[in-house]
Structure formats: C-alpha cells, structure tokens
Amino acid sequence: MKNFFSHCGISRKLYQVILLSVFSILTLSSCSQDNLMENETPSSPELAYRKFAVGKTIGNITLQQNVIVLNDESISSVSQVNNQSLTFDYKTSQTDSIKVGTIIVGTKITGDNIDNILAKVKAVSKTNNQIILQTSTPKLEEFIFSGTISGIYDPNGKAPVNINGKMVNYIPIEGMVSQNVLNKIHNIQAKNIAQHKSITLNPVNFDKTFSFDHQTGITNLTSSVSLKGGFTPKIKYNINFFESRLSDFHINFILDDISFKTKANIQGNLGYSKSPANYLNIPIAPIAIGPTGLTLSPTFSASPFVWVQASGKAELTLIDIAGNANLLVGKDPEFNINLSPAGNMGLTQLEGNVSAELGIEAKGGAGLQFVAASIANSGLKGKISILPSLQLSQDSSKKVTIDINGKVETDMYYKFGVSPYVYEGSFSLLKKEVNLYNKNLAF
C-alpha cells in the first residue's frame, strides 16, 4: 500500500480526506431522500383519500376505522337496545373487538318491529356471560368517511314499517344488513301491503274545469276550460361524503307519465288565470336509509292551473300531450321536459285568437337528517305546462296557425352540510321552453 501511494504521488492523509468527503456526500443524499418522503403531501383529493381512508368499504360507503357492522351472530346475541345501552347475552366473534370509542351499526328485528342500531361505546362491562355497553349517539364524522348513497325512490305501492318506534319507509344499504335481515324486512313490508298500509299513487290524477264569468256589453257570459290528466311522482336522491363530511346533496324530482287533455268553450273576449288554492298533497313517509341514522324526508304537492286569453269565441279540443319532466335541486340544477303530442286537434269554432298556459304547479322539498340533526334541506316551486296558441288569419282564407310549446319553470334553493362546511344557494325563474307542435290548418 505504501508503495502504491508513493507510486501515485498521493499521501495517506489526502486519501483519508477523499474517503471522508465521499462518505459525507452519500450520507447527506440519504437524509435528503428521507426528508422528501416524510414531508411528501398528497397533490390531489384522490391521493388524500388513499392516505386517510383506513376504514372498511361496504358497498359504495367507506366507514371510519373504528366502526363495526354487526353480523347475524352478533345481532342474535343482542337482548336489549336503547339510546343509552346495548346488551349482548353471549360472546361472539365480534364482541372482543368492541372497546370504548367503537361505533356499532346493525339492524335487529323483533316481530314486526325493527331497531336500527347506531351507537358509540362509552363504557364496557361484563356480568356473567353478558357484555353490557354504555352508549351515546355518534357524530356523522365519526361514522362515515366517504362514499355515495344514491337511488330512485318510487312511493307508489310502498308500505312503511316500524323502525325505532316510528312508521317510515325503508331503503337498504348494501352490506350493512344481511340477506336474512333483509328478507325479514321484505316480509314485514309485504304484510303491511296486504293490510292496506301502502300508498297508491299510480298515477296522481286530476280532472278540473275552470269557469270564467265575464261580460260583453250588457251580456253576462261564462267560459270554461277543462284540464284532465295526471303524473307519477318519483324521487332520485344523491348523497355524497368526502373526508368525514357531507360534500354534496341533490334531489331530482321526477314526474313520469304526464298527460294533459284539454277542452275549451270560450264565449267572447277573455283574459283570466286560475289555480286552486289547495294543493294536492302527496303522502310520502320519511325514508330511513338502512341503519346509517340518515333519514330522507321528502314532500311533494301539486295543483292544476290555467291562464287563458281570447279575442273572440272559440270551441276546441286540444291535441293530447304526454311525456315526463324532471327538476334537479342542488349546486348544479338541471331541469328537463320531454313532452309530445298524440291524437288529433278538434276545432269546432274560432272567431279570434286564443293563447293559453295550462298544466300543473308543483311544490317539492327534501330534508336530510342524521339521527335528530338536520344536515340538508332543499326545495322548489315550479310549473310544468303547455302553451297553446291559435292565430286566425285576417284575410278571407280562414287559415289558423296552431303552435303548442312545452315549458318548465322553477325557483329552487338548497342548503347542506355541518358548520364550518355549509353550502347553500338559490336560483330564481329557471326556465326551459320547447316547441311540441306547429301546424297550419284551413278552417
């Protein structure tokens, strides 16, 4: 070695300096890499989700890590459940995992009564073979981490069931109730339907004649417009959670099977509008969403209305109109109308121009509660209507131009979330109008 250093002209001291420098560089490089890893932060919500979503995913919902969904064995062991305590008569495969802070979820059925279990464990004690838990109500952020609950609810033919002492409708959540429990709930619903506890809305029908008293000179006249039809209401809901909070909530009010049949007998110049003061309330019981503690409370009511203006006598049967419409209430509102004419126009008499608007005026709303706390609310007031117009030519040709438009018009509002993450807004006079029918007739 000595000969080598001598041969290269490099002293032993210089060699040691070189080795020390290389070692220092390697050490600093390693520390730098370690610091990069420790200080690395997610650059997108998706990375944040992967970093913090440590709970179990059931269906489309990711729960917090300390949540236990009771299986059939544990449910069978439950002998007593109320707002303050939960008792297991014997040990199961899940009971050893229960400790202070655990969130317990489940559904127990006794006869025709259903108990949804959603509890946070405050204390655990054991007496003989029994396991007794002292419990309280958990916060939403302690229970659900992220995910989506969505679906379409058709109230027609649905039977409410007794859940925690209240008659409510029920929507199961995949994975939170076993097939055995779900079968029992379906049997209770079928029994209630057989006992005529169900709601029949197939569809909502109306048949209203609007009378207008008016005067031409000294002559008293009565004109009339009749509106017959119906619709089937449905509710599409979408509830989103992200990072332990409610991040979006929107409700789509759907009107299927819309039909309008109209007749008019107008005796002279006329310009009136009428709508009944009383709305037809559509009974929809609150909807329990599995054992999540979430309850959707929708309301819906509707009323037929008519506005008409005429410059002379007219007697006609308007072409039938059928289709559907929807009004989505939320941060990004949507509304659509899909109507089409069917059949033929019946025109017996026309001595002037006629224009009208007729249809249904609707009010709807939906609240969302977690246990007893309101966490979302939305609503609308709008119209789904048709606008017929008959324009008589001024020459001797006696031609009439018939136009029929379909229209949806609404005001909306929404509010959801828990402080400090609260979102709210409103929209006024949102409107969409489409042409349904246009024709020139010789009369």
Across residues 224-228, what is the average pLDDT? 93
Same domain? 283 vs 215: yes
377 and 429 within one domain: yes
**Residue 223 belongs to some domain of the structure:** yes
Q: Are residues 188 and 208 in the same domain?
A: no
Shared-domain flag, residues 280 and 364: yes
- Does residue 47 lie within any of the structural domains? no
Give the residue with greater pLDDT, 241 vs 34: 241
Q: What percent of the chain has pLDDT over 70?
A: 85
Q: How many domains is the chain partitioned into structurally? A: 3
Distance CA 278, CA 281 (A): 9
In which domain, by residue range, is 13 found? 2-39
Task: Say whether both 185 and 209 belong to one domain.
Answer: no
Mean pLDDT of the 252-271 span: 92
Asked if 261 and 345 sit in the same domain, the reply is: yes
226: which strand partners?
Answer: 209, 263
Nearest to 325 by CA among 413, 421, 257, 418: 257
Distance CA 100, CA 121 (A): 5
In tens, the pLDDT along 398-413 reads 789 999 999 999 999 9
171 and 230 in a single domain? The answer is no
Same domain, 70 and 16: no
Residue 43 burial (10 A CB sphere; 0-12, 13-18, 19+): exposed
How many CA atoms lie within 13 Å of 2's alpha carbon, on the beta-carbon side? 0
Q: Which pLDDT band, with edges at 50, 70 and 90, does 198 fall under?
A: low
Is residue 45 in a domain?
A: no
Task: Answer whether 225's CB lies under 8 Å from 254's CB.
Answer: no
Question: Are residues 33 and 101 located together in one domain of the fold?
Answer: no
Asked, for residue 87, whether it belongs to a domain, the answer is yes
In a domain, 44, yes or no: no
Check whether 336 has a pLDDT greater than 60: yes
Dump pLDDT digits (tens) for 418-434.
Answer: 888 899 999 998 999 99
Which band of pLDDT confidence, cut at 50, 70 and 90, is reported for residue 231?
Answer: very high
Cis peptide before 286 (omega within 30 of 0): no
Task: Note whether 401 and 322 are same-domain residues.
Answer: yes
Q: Are residues 108 and 216 in the same domain?
A: no
In a domain, 107, yes or no: yes
Q: Are residues 136 and 231 in the same domain?
A: no
Would residue 46 count as lying in a domain?
Answer: no
Any domain includes 416: yes
